Amino acid sequence: MWPKEDGTPTPAYRTLDLYFDTYDDAAAAVTTPAAAELVGRLTATGTTFTGLFSDVEPAAS
């Protein structure tokens, strides 16, 4: 990554992509104890966590 215009480092981001068959499956997954533990561990370290749901459409043939 390139530094910002003022020369300070650009923030680094980590991403995690999870794919589910349906929106309902994804919504159910984020309500599990394992998901709560993951978010708890992230926020306990001061990490800012942002969740994003996206609908991925298959490419047209």
What residue ranges do the domains of the chain occupy? 18-45
Q: Measure the CA angle with vertex 50, ends 46 and 41; round to 5°.
A: 40
Joined together, the tokens standing for residue 36 give: 């709560």
Entry pTM: 0.57
Question: What's the confidence (pLDDT) of residue 61?
Answer: 75
Taking only the tens place, the pLDDT of each residue in 10-47 is 877 778 888 888 889 988 998 999 999 988 888 888 87
Q: Which residues make Cβ contacts (< 8 Å) with residue 9, sequence separation at least 6?
A: 1, 3
| Cα–Cα distance measured from residue 57 to residue 60, given in angstroms and rounded to the nearest whole number | 9
Please say if the pLDDT value at position 1 is more than 70: no
Instruction: Please provide the distance, in angstroms rounded to a whole number, between the alpha carbons at the two ends of the chain.
Output: 35
Question: What's the confidence (pLDDT) of residue 56?
Answer: 83
